[in-house]
Amino acid sequence: MSDKPLITHTYTADPSAHVFDGKVYIYPSHDRETDQPTNDNGDQYDMVDYHVFSLDEIGGDVTDHGVALDMKDIPWVSKQLWAPDAATKNGKYYLYFPARAADGIFRIGVAVGDRPEGPFTAEPQPMKGSFSIDPATFVDDDDEAYMYFGGIWGGQLQNWQGETYDPNGKEPEGDAPALLPVVSKLTEDMKEFAEKPREIQIVDEDGELLKASDHDRRFFEAAWMHKHEGKYYFSYSTGDTHYLCYAIGDNPYGPFTYGGRILEPVLGWTTHHSILEFKGKWYLFHHDCEISNGVNHLRNVKVKEIFYDEDGKILPVK
């Protein structure tokens, strides 16, 4: 399989890929050139809209369906439309997105459309009780839908270790348990949380929570959920060590036992992905910075086939 960027006429990142109506649809962030400073807060990721892309075959032509949602059409958003995701249920399509509200705090919004490619119409307010970034939706075999989310540093997860936003919140250190992502079941109309979001435990082979100092394995951002042969696979980015990792559980809430790495560091600072099955094969969608020669906020989407061993472990991508 070619390792060339799927999309080269514009910058794309954080690809959430799904199979809808027999096609693969990709819901990425839309990077753009900006004069915002590059820092750990992520000010350089100054996106203002979303495009949706589709392809009939992996390796085939990619269609850009144009702007599906623009920041100017979302009443509560002040800036930074970061990594989105999409889902379908009840004959509708839902686009979920994080963005900063007027107070500078990230919330998660939802927009609704009649077709996978949009256009999408945003709800006038963010989802009640939402916070942080990187929403990833998963509709299980029983038709129950869940959202997984969270990201530290610029994603502000460290500011939500209590019931309210703490601007002085810090990431734990040393042998303290690492910060954990969160999950909530969604309401039947897919627009709100059906319960208070709860932490997702990621544990080692002894059942112990991963430590804050375990930067090679602990969660940082980029939650994703998929199901393979009855098991639930929670995958994520380790952030500052640049690995894509996964953990396996028996239900959508976890706990999830660390399973290994999927992808080694790529060109560029961030890594963010999705995993899907299409026509009997499994694929990893991710990004790097090939077309910008390493500029970390000007990225491009790629796809690779992945494989499982007889024990259900994901084999590392070569």
| CA 147 centroid distance within chain | 10
Q: Quote the CA–CA distance of 74 and 64 in Å, as a whole number.
A: 22
Q: Which of 14, 85, 117, 134 is catalytic?
A: 14
Looking at domain 13-306, its CATH architecture is 5 Propeller (2.115)
Average pLDDT of the residues in 64-72: 98
Q: Token pair 């500011």 is at which residue? A: 159
Average pLDDT of the residues in 19-26: 98
| Whether residue 221 lies in the annotated active site | yes
- Whether the per-residue pLDDT at 1 is higher than 70: the answer is no
Three-state DSSP state, 120: coil
In this prediction, residue 40 carries a pLDDT of 86
In this prediction, residue 265 carries a pLDDT of 97
Q: Which of 85, 134, 221, 288 is catalytic?
A: 221
% of the chain residues with pLDDT over 90? 94
Least confident window among 40-44, 169-173, 311-315: 40-44
Nearest Cα to Cα of residue 295 among 2, 26, 9, 38? 38
DSSP assignments along 228-276, one per residue: ETTEEEEEEE-GGG--EEEEEESSTT--EEEEEEEE---SSS----EEE
Residue 133 pairs in a beta bridge with none
What pLDDT digit, counting tens, does each position of 40-65 carry? 888 899 999 999 999 999 999 999 99
What pLDDT digit, counting tens, does each position of 256-280 carry? 999 999 999 999 989 999 999 999 9
Q: Is the overall model pTM greater than 0.85, yes or no?
A: yes
Q: Quote the CA–CA distance of 96 and 117 in Å, as a whole number.
A: 13
- Whether the per-residue pLDDT at 34 is higher than 80: the answer is yes
Residue 108 pairs in a beta bridge with 98
Domain boundaries, the chain: 13-306
Confidence of residue 163 (pLDDT cuts 50, 70, 90): confident
What pLDDT digit, counting tens, does each position of 82-116 carry? 999 999 999 999 999 999 999 999 999 999 999 99
Confidence of residue 70 (pLDDT cuts 50, 70, 90): very high
| Whether residue 56 lies in the annotated active site | no
